[in-house]
Amino acid sequence: MESTMTRRLISALFLLLLITVGSSATPTHWRKRVREPCNKLVFYFHDIIYNGHNAKNATAAIVGAPSWGNKTILAGQNHFGDVVVFDDPITLDNNLHSPPVGRAQGFYIYDKKEIFTSWLAFSFVFNSTQHKGSINFAGADPLMNKTRDISVIGGTGDFFMTRGVATLSTDAFEGEVYFRLRVDINLYECW
């Protein structure tokens, strides 16, 4: 009786040891990572491109253009080569006139001749009662797709060291002057 129990215990110990060693020694990149966000946020931001007539309201300006372009009209060929710097208000809903919770600051480039597509790198710089700090983004933005995923490459303050994926969707656009993006931020690394 005693030895049977003891043997069972020893077996259990070895099994446990195997499980323990197996799971603990697994290097970071082999460990199963759960694709469950540790934080989810939704924002809107509003881009008003300077066109030579809207200096007061504009939040963005063309600062680079190909040889066939200029700085007040987005270039032909789907704006290929235009570089736009922006400082756009971030709001919690889709109303341009809602109180901003921060600014979206950075730049985008139009990077394809055949269709509208862009590449962007920017930060959300928060300064509200809810959020302090910044979230940094980079990635390709194929504008003709309903939703586009870019990377959250880092963060500071409340978003210290964060990483994740942000899904962009064009919520509205008016001519070539105003557009509004909805950003669904899913953070998968939180500190």
Q: Tell whether residue 151 is a contact of its own copies (CB under 8 A).
A: yes
DSSP codes joined into one string, 53-112 = S-TTT--EEEEE--TT--SSS--TTTTTT-EEEEEEEEESSS-TTSPPSEEEEEEEEE--
Q: Shortest approach of its own copies to residue 109 CB, angstroms? A: 5
Residue closer to its own copies by CB (options 125, 183) is: 125
Please report, as residue ranges, which positions from 152 to 171 form the binding site for its own copies (by CB under 8 A): 152-157, 160-161, 163-165
Residue closer to its own copies by CB (options 92, 140) is: 140
Neighbours of 97 (CB within 10 A): 8
End-to-end CA distance of the chain: 51
> Could you give the CA distance from residue 150 to residue 58 in angstroms, rounded to a whole number?
25
Q: Shortest approach of its own copies to residue 166 CB, angstroms? A: 9
Token pair for residue 154?
Answer: 């880092």
Q: Tell whether residue 103 is a contact of its own copies (CB under 8 A).
A: yes
Question: Contacting its own copies (CB under 8 A), which of 54, 72, 94, 169?
Answer: 72
Residues in the chain: 191
Question: Contacting its own copies (CB under 8 A), which of 10, 42, 144, 172?
Answer: 10
> Could you give the CA distance from residue 34 to residue 107 in angstroms, rounded to a whole number?
32
Please report, as residue ranges, which positions from 108 to 147 form the binding site for its own copies (by CB under 8 A): 109-113, 117, 119, 121-123, 125, 133-134, 136, 138-140, 142
Q: Tell whether residue 178 is a contact of its own copies (CB under 8 A).
A: no
Residue window 25-54: x/- pattern of binding to its own copies, with contact defined by CB under 8 A = x-xxxxxxxxxx-x-----------x-x--
